[in-house]
Amino acid sequence: MLAELFLTSSYSLVLSALMFAVGAVGLLVRRNPLVMFMCVELMLNAVNVTFVAFGADLNDVGGQLSVFFVLVVAAVEVVVGLALVVAINRRRPDASVDDVSLLRG
Amino acid sequence: MSEVITFLAAAAVILVGALGVVLARNPVHSALFLIQTLLGVAVVFIVQDAHFLAAVQVVVYAGAIVILFLFVIMLLGVDRAEDMGVDPVAGQKPLAAVVGAALLAGALTMVLIATDGATGQRQVESPTDAMFEQRLDNGLTDIERIGRVLFTDGLVAFQLTAALLTIAVLGAVVLTRSVRSSDLLADREPATFDLPAAAPDGANDEHHAASEGQTEGDEQ
């Protein structure tokens, strides 16, 4: 029976849904901004898995192209986000995300 | 079948890593679990014949982004364990669990409703697309296919990406540039500026000293 199994996109989609849900819960639960960014990375990777699965399914390289752009945007997001974390932490050490809800100083 | 076994092993690695990212108390441990997840995703890409993306995933994500995370963690010295017991917003964790379960249920429902392949349509059928794919497909590796589409259909997006990267670098430099004390006094309201009583160490001491002096002056 096992020999008849072959990889369909449903496997990837279920995996992607699980990854996305774990990342979303982590984003909601954690208070450390760095860990929250890591959870955002988890969610982005879940979407990348979906893109690759659909691209393989439809025999279209556009899915992989989308992943390429998502990677670039993720890198940009991390750079700007970590710069924000550094800037906030320089002015107010020990700030958690709840302390910086005012968008000033 | 070997593909399925590889995929399932990689999926287990990915999910353990994802749970580790969320549950680890120490941010450094979260970053290491994130590397585990990203390498698992690279294996999933390889299983689906996206070899170029797997390499990019390892180099860019595990090699650059997570290292950047670790660098910032070490730079700021925030590698302490977080107290997960406190709940500053009442009922946040149950609510987060409900939201996560709803997201998961919605996504899984969408996947499982569509029994075969989840898209309902197996192949792009319009003749021009088919001709285009045929032209692109003969004997090319995935990196060549990506390159051709990237520099034809995706050219504008590619150029926008270049602009985006430049803007991000400029933004990071502007955000983290060290502020001179005269600028600091000019553009900030010192009374609302909640500095800790003592600067933690010698870092940025002129910056802290100037701000504290101003704060004390205002209070008097």
| pLDDT tens by residue, B128-187 | 555 555 544 556 778 888 888 889 988 999 999 999 999 999 999 998 887 655 555 555
Distance from C-alpha of B198 to C-alpha of B208, rounded to nearest angstrom? 9
DSSP structure string for B80-136: SPP--S--SSTTHHHHHHHHHHHHHHHHHHHHHHS-STTTS--S---HHHHHHHHHH
- When divided into structural domains, chain B yields a total of 1
pLDDT tens-digit map of A20-78: 999 999 999 888 888 999 999 999 999 999 999 988 888 888 889 999 999 999 999 99
Residue B28, domain extent = 1-80
Shortest Cα distance, chain A CAs vs residue B138, angstroms: 13
Task: Tell whether B15 is covered by a domain.
Answer: yes
May I ask the CATH architecture of the domain A11-93? Answer: Orthogonal Bundle (1.10)
Nearest to A12 among B44, B176, B189 (CB): B44
**Does any CB of chain B come closer than 8 Å to the CB of residue A52?**
yes
**Does any CB of chain B come closer than 8 Å to the CB of residue A41?**
yes
**Residues belonging to chain A:** 105
Q: Is the ipTM of this complex over 0.85?
A: yes
Nearest to A69 among B18, B19, B161 (CB): B161
Give the residue carrying structure tokens 């990196």.
B143
Task: Tell whether B33 is covered by a domain.
Answer: yes
Confidence band for A88, pLDDT divided at 50, 70 and 90: confident
Mutate to test the interface with A, among B37, B124, B194 (most CBs of A within 10 A): B37
pLDDT at B63: 87
Task: Tell whether B41 is covered by a domain.
Answer: yes
By the 10 Å C-beta count (0-12 exposed, 13-18 middle, 19+ buried), A38 is classed as buried
Domain ranges of chain A: 11-93
Tell me the backbone φ, ψ of residue B50, rounded to 5 degrees: -105, 70
Task: Tell whether B23 is covered by a domain.
Answer: yes
pLDDT tens-digit map of B72-120: 888 887 766 666 666 667 778 888 889 999 989 988 888 777 655 545 4
pLDDT at B185: 54
pLDDT at A48: 94
In this structure, what token pair is assigned to residue B142?
A: 């995935």
Nearest to A89 among B76, B112, B119 (CB): B76
Classified as helix, coil or strand, B192 is helix
